[in-house]
Amino acid sequence: MNRWRTRFAAGSALAVLVLIAAAVFAADSRPAALRDVDVVPRLDQPLPLDLELRDETGKTVRLAEFFGGPPVLLTLAYARCPMLCPMVLEGLVRSLRPLSWNVGEQFRMITVSIDPRETPEQAAARKAKLVADYGRPGAARGWHFLVGDEGAVRRLTEAVGFRYGYDAANDQYAHAAVLMALTPQGKLSRYLYGIDFTPRDVRLALVEASEGKIGTLTDRILLFCYHYDPATGKYGAAAMTGVRLAGVLTVLGIGAFVVTQIRREHRKV
């Protein structure tokens, strides 16, 4: 009888622990301001190109004005952000410097403020600093800083799956760190996460977003060797593809060597 009581007690205790664990995992233990923060990828989905915002000069513009040419990199940030936004934008500038491509030529960039209180003057000040840090001629014509009212901002962020929250106690926005690549038609192509983007990832994202219209043969080979992982927002080596490519290159190399040797033998004869 004692043995059965012991087993029953142990089983009951285990059941209670399972219920407690389930309750803990079911409840979101994050602070209230962070519970709505997320990025839900909307790959291949279009932006609302009819959306009206204001640029850094105060002029009303439509998103459609920035598409139809090269691919576009999109960031969502705000001027008063004490830490994350500056880190993302500065990290982006660092990743762009090693690229041979220039903002405003091979690709464009758009930074939209998620704070509806931000003014064109604030956007202009931030643009001046980042363009100066980038240090490439013509970048000011290719990097656009936009602001808008609450409705316009929400419409854009919902379209790209960028979920954020407002912390009234600290008067700050809680949000994720992400860079988005878009096709010339305004469709979401790739999401790169983090505050420090590798030049390789940015380059490959632009090559894919451009649908192969920019980039060299080397870039296309890299895309053959690397695949995009939506979970991490990075490009990783495709092991089997790399092995196959290495095999093809080896066969081509042997073939070229054999042809060269045959030609040399014929010349001697």
Q: Is the dihedral of CA 255, 256, 258, 263 positive or negative?
A: positive
For 22-54, the pLDDT digits (tens) are: 333 344 455 555 667 899 999 999 999 999 999
Answer whether 192's CB lies under 8 Å from 234's CB: yes
Cβ atoms 96, 90 nearer than 8 A: no
Note whether 112 and 155 are within 8 A (CB).
no
For residues 61-76, average pLDDT = 96
pTM comes to 0.73
Residue-wise pLDDT tens digits, 72-106: 999 999 999 988 999 999 999 999 999 999 999 99
**Which tens digit of pLDDT belongs to each residue from 219-258?**
656 655 666 677 777 777 764 444 444 444 555 566 555 5
Contact 42, 131 (CB under 8 A): no
Residue 34: predicted pLDDT: 60
- Between CA 175 and CA 165 the distance in angstroms is 7
Quote the tokens at residue 262. 């045959």
pLDDT higher than threshold 50 for residue 215: yes
Q: Residue 248: what pLDDT?
A: 46
Crossing angle of helices 217-225 and 239-268, in 10° steps, is 130
Q: What angle do CA 32, 38, 39 make, to 5 degrees?
A: 165
Mean pLDDT: which of 1-10, 108-117, 209-218 is highest? 108-117
Band of pLDDT at residue 63, cut at 50, 70 and 90: very high
pLDDT in tens, 158-167: 999 999 999 8
